[in-house]
Structure 1
Amino acid sequence: MFAERIGYIVWFSDWKAARGLDKYGTLHYLSRKMQYAVLYMNADAAEEATRNLQRLPFVRKIERSYRNEIKTEYESNVPDKTRFYGL
């Protein structure tokens, strides 16, 4: 149904030039102070897009985001104590 998306953290040196990163995927966030961008793109075109991003003169480093691989379902073996503190 939905295409698999991969997130990348792109470290850059020129903020004005980094605003043009939306050509390579969905630009989610730009940090002016720390000079990085969060970019999401389709998994099937990600390898080619990262090669093209590396060639840009203002890109310093590209890191893959592992957000979709982090476990988000938590289990708790501790009993819930909130019912004891009710009125």
Structure 2
Amino acid sequence: MFSERIGYIIWVSDLKAARSLDKYGTVHYMSRKMHYVVMYMNADRADEVVRNIQRLPFVKRIERSYRNEIKTEYTRGVPDKTRFYSL
């Protein structure tokens, strides 16, 4: 139903020009202070789109976001000590 999405962090030199990145994917966040853009795009066209974005004159560096690969299901490895301290 939904296609696989990949996130990228794009470091830019000009935020006004970075608004044009919207045509390459979904811009999720733009940092005015640190000059980066977080955007998501379809995984099947990601390599082609990244090559096109890298050619833009205001783009300094592109990093892939590993947020979807981080484990978000947590297990308790340490026993719960709160029950020993209850009244």
Report the alpha carbon displacement of residue 48 of structure 1 after superposing the two structures with TM: 0.6
Is residue 3 of structure 1 aligned with residue 20 of structure 2? no
SS in 1 for 2:40: strand
Partner of 1:17: 17
- Where does residue 31 of structure 1 map in the other structure? 31
Q: Distance in 1 between matches of 2:74 and 2:12?
A: 35
TM-fit CA distance, 1:17: 0.3
| Helix, strand or coil at the partner of 1:30 | strand
SS at match of 1:9: strand
Shift of 1:84: 5.0
The letter of the residue matching 2:73 is E
Instruction: Give the partner amino acid of 1:6.
Output: I
The residue matched to 1:3 in structure 2 has which SS? Answer: coil
Aligned equivalents of 1:30 and 1:85: distance in 2? Answer: 46
5+ long unaligned stretches in structure 1? none
Q: TM-score, normalised by structure 2?
A: 0.91
Residue type of the alignment partner of 1:61: R
Output the aligned Cα RMSD.
Answer: 1.3
AA aligned to 2:18 is A
Partner of 1:48 in structure 2?
48
Identity %: 76
Residue equivalent to 1:79: 79
Aligned partner of 1:58: which letter? F
Structure 2, gaps ≥5 residues long:
none
Partner amino acid, structure 1, of 2:75: E
Q: Which runs of 4+ in 1 moved over 3 A?
A: 81-87
Query: SS of 2:57's equivalent?
Result: coil
Secondary structure of the 1:71 match is coil
Aligned positions, number:
87
